Amino acid sequence: MTEGTDLHVDAQALREHCEGILRMFAVPEEQAAVIADTLVEADLRGTHSHGAHLVALYVQRLRTSALAPETGITSVRDDGATVMLDAHLGFGQVAGVHAIDLAMERARLHGLAAVTIREATHLGALAYYTRRAAEQGFFALLTQNGPAFVPPYGGLDGIFSTNPISYAMPGGDAPPIVYDVATTAVAGNKILLAKKRGDAAIPEGWATDAAGNPTTDTQAASIDHFSWFGGHKGYGIAMLVELLSGVLGDSCFGRTEHTASPLGGRDRIAKGCFFLAVDVSRFLPLHVVGERVDVLVDDIHSSRPATGHERVLVPGEIEHDLRVQRLAEGIPISPELVGELDAIAADAGLAPLPTRTRHG
């Protein structure tokens, strides 16, 4: 989403609007609040590919019963420091918050804990969960796999998803260090969002066309062919995600459809997730960890900027600063997305999204 749009919406208004739509489709109030919060937090941090534009997708899945409106989470196996959960094809965000909170609870007892989820669906932005843990004094690592459409490095046939990975570390006076990326050159939802907005072009290196030729034409860009960031290096990290989230998580992996859902391959909605939480105070007092992270951040900030860079940043810093700005000024939102949300809201008997024209 570009800052050139002339529409803005307050974060709380967008949160209430998304929550209201979900509740009209039988999502329980508490769960709808969690889902809406993850979407708005993504928009606040500039990750619009995982923000409110996903409401239409979720509504479509609810209407076709592909997605359960109420997320029921059961424990498959519990050994204290390791837990395996089943989300029964409910909302990934609800299961994800439950999993990271459980991982922190167990890490307080054992020093570290790992939680997997099978039959999860889209978690949204992974940074939401790792940042949640870092703000409470934990190092967190999170991986999620998905539908098979990205070829392995050197191959042509889809085996993997974009396989995102995120980590976060508590800071002291500085915000937590938060890293959240797809292991492909770009997340698939970024291209879908660009298509929805009608963007004429996407950045070079994002995608290829259906024949595998590099393209910057948004409409020609294929959502079935992606390149790994760093070539074989990104592919190796994607394999780690698949092993932790799919194989270890007792979920779908590669072309193996280990799910109750009839949707598979490119249309698979079942995902596997792996959460790791580490109580950093088991190694050093929390305040010492924070102080040392702050020193490291200061060292990085003091590095001389290279040509083309105004300043040197740490992971998550841009998103943190943008969130502060947008909480004060509102979230930029495209007229196309407003129209889409308003159409869904009208069908559900809700008022339109309250937006305002940006001034200045």
Torsion angle of the four alpha carbons 146, 147, 148, 151, in this order, in degrees rounded to the nearest 10:
-60
Residue 281 has a pLDDT of 98
Residue 339 pLDDT grade (very low, low, confident, very high; cuts 50, 70, 90): very high
Cα 78 to Cα 23, 88, 113, 140, 245, distances in angstroms: 32, 17, 11, 20, 17
Q: Work out the average pLDDT over 167-193.
A: 90
Task: Indicate the pairing of strand 207-208 with strand 214-215.
Answer: antiparallel
Dihedral sign, Cα of residue 189, residue 191, residue 196, residue 197? positive
Catalogue all structural domains in the chain, each as residue range(s) with its CATH number. Answer: 1-66+330-360 (1.10.1530.10), 71-185+226-329 (3.30.1370.60)
Exposure string over 85-120, b if 16+ CB within 10 A, otherwise e? bbbbbbbbbbbbbbbbbbbbebbbeeebbbbbbbbb
pLDDT in the model for residue 5: 52
Of 146, 90, 78, 75, the C-alpha closest to 120 is 90
Model confidence band, residue 215 (pLDDT cutoffs 50, 70, 90): confident
Enter the tokens of residue 66.
Answer: 């592909």
Contacts of 275 (CB under 8 A, 6+ apart): 96, 99, 100, 103, 114, 115, 116, 117, 129, 140, 141, 142
CA distance 12 to 114: 33
State the chain's mean pLDDT as an integer: 93
Q: How far apart are CA 251 and CA 260, in angstroms?
A: 11
Task: Look up residue 202 and give its two tokens.
Answer: 């996407």
Whether 130 has a pLDDT exceeding 90, the answer reads: yes
Pairing of strands 7-9, 356-357: antiparallel
Task: Identify the three-state secondary structure at position 233.
Answer: helix
What whole-number distance in Å separates Cα of residue 34 and Cα of residue 163?
A: 23
Question: How much is the pLDDT for 186?
Answer: 78
Cα(82)–Cα(110) distance, rounded to whole angstroms? 10
Which of 227, 228, 226, 253 is closest to 241 using CA atoms? 253
Checking if the pLDDT of 209 tops 90, the result is no
Within 10 angstroms of residue 192's Cβ, the number of other Cβ atoms is: 16
Cα 149 to Cα 22, 221, 222, 318, 336, distances in angstroms: 29, 14, 11, 30, 28
For the chain, the 3-state helix, strand and coil shares in percent, each to the nearest 5, are: 40, 20, 40
pLDDT digits (tens, 9 = 90+) for 306-315: 999 999 999 9
**Tens-digit pLDDT profile for residues 288-304:** 999 999 999 999 999 99
pLDDT for res 330: 96
DSSP 228: B
- Using CA atoms, how far apart are residues 297 and 289, in angstroms rounded to an integer? 12
Q: What is the pLDDT averaged over residues 103-119?
A: 98
pLDDT band (50, 70, 90) for residue 360: very low
Q: What is the mean pLDDT of residues 182-186?
A: 89
Range in 158-162, 198-202, 339-343 with the lowest mean pLDDT: 198-202
Residue 123 pLDDT grade (very low, low, confident, very high; cuts 50, 70, 90): very high
pLDDT of 193 = 76
CA dihedral 332, 337, 339, 340 (to 10 degrees): -150
Radius of gyration of the chain (CA): 20
pLDDT of residue 2: 47
Global pTM value: 0.92
Decide if pLDDT at 172 tops 90. Answer: yes
What's the CA gap between 99 and 190, in Å, rounded? 26
Q: What are the helix (H) ranges across 111-256?
A: 127-134, 188-197, 232-241
